[in-house]
A = this chain, B = another copy of it.
Amino acid sequence: MESVLSEAVALLDEAGAPALTFRALAQRLGGGVASIYWYVASKDELLDQATDHVMGAVLADVEGLARTDDPIDDLREMAVTLFDAIVARPWLAAYFMRNTTAQSNSLRLYERLGEQTLRLDLDARQRFHAVSAIVGVVVGSAIDLGQEPPQEVLDGAVDRDEFLGRYARAWRELDPEDFPFVHEIVDEFDGHDDVDQFRSALELTLTGLRLQAGPPPSSR
């Protein structure tokens, strides 16, 4: 079982979600296709289990973070840790958090994020929405990464900067009268860092949250 999951993860890491097929997996395991069905009932379950398998390490990273006396700071560190894991494994974006009963590590991670909101002066609904918002920012920022990069990028024939550059070039050719905003930001877009982009989005949400929660308990 352990080897089924780690080989499945290896396939996902090497070439993304489309590379994980029962036939490819069976070949790596040196067995027949049908054997895998002894361990999982379906491909969906295989994906859930593979995801939960790697989320175990992410959860450990999150739980290993030092706690501060500011829950918002802790939320930030946790969210960044989660995002970094998705940057390293873009296929994660589409699968983690999609089935929290089947993925116990994702549920625990959700719990750990939520516990920080228990330290804030919010009601239950605000807490629920706050954690949803933070997970949403992570997922929303990560989903771009999860998009299958065009085959050329996977092949290494074209790198990410070149890929962004092509878009940027197309955008620069748009009529500036019709697309003033696109022209305003095209230089920022060209070669931008996904982590920067994520951290900015996260910061807006955390700022909103801090305002909603009011002054910290220590100052009351």
Q: Which residues of B contact A21 (CB under 8 A)?
A: none
CA distance A192 to B131 in the complex (A): 14
> Which of A100, A129, A196 neighbours the largest number of chain B CB atoms within 10 Å of its CB?
A129
Tell whether, in the assembled complex, residue B185 and residue A128 are in contact, meaning their CB atoms are under 8 Å apart.
Answer: yes
Q: Which residues of B contact A140 (CB under 8 A)?
A: 135-141, 143
- Indicate whether A110 sits within 8 Å of B212 (C-beta atoms), given known contacts A140-B138, A204-B205: no
A residues apposed to B, CB below 8 Å: 98, 100-101, 107, 110-111, 113-115, 117-118, 124-133, 135-141, 143-144, 147, 167, 170, 178-182, 184-185, 187-189, 192, 196-197, 200-201, 203-209, 211-212
Tell whether, in the assembled complex, residue B208 and residue A204 are in contact, meaning their CB atoms are under 8 Å apart.
Answer: yes
Since A127-B181, A204-B212, A211-B211 are in contact, a sample of 10 more A-B pairs with Cβ atoms closer than 8 Å, ordered by chain A residue number, is A100-B167, A118-B181, A129-B200, A129-B201, A131-B181, A132-B201, A133-B200, A143-B143, A206-B208, A208-B208
* Selected contact of A184 from candidates B124, B144, B208, CB within 8 Å: B124
Residue pairs across A and B with Cβ atoms less than 8 A apart, 23 shown, are A110-B182, A111-B180, A114-B182, A117-B181, A118-B180, A124-B188, A125-B188, A128-B185, A129-B200, A129-B201, A130-B200, A136-B136, A136-B137, A136-B140, A139-B140, A139-B143, A204-B204, A204-B208, A204-B209, A204-B212, A206-B208, A207-B211, A207-B212
- Indicate whether A204 sits within 8 Å of B133 (C-beta atoms), given known contacts A140-B139, A147-B98, A184-B114: yes
> Which of A107, A125, A167, A187 neighbours the largest number of chain B CB atoms within 10 Å of its CB?
A125
CA distance A184 to B111 in the complex (A): 10
Nearest 6 interchain pairs by C-beta: A140-B140, A114-B181, A136-B140, A204-B208, A133-B201, A207-B208
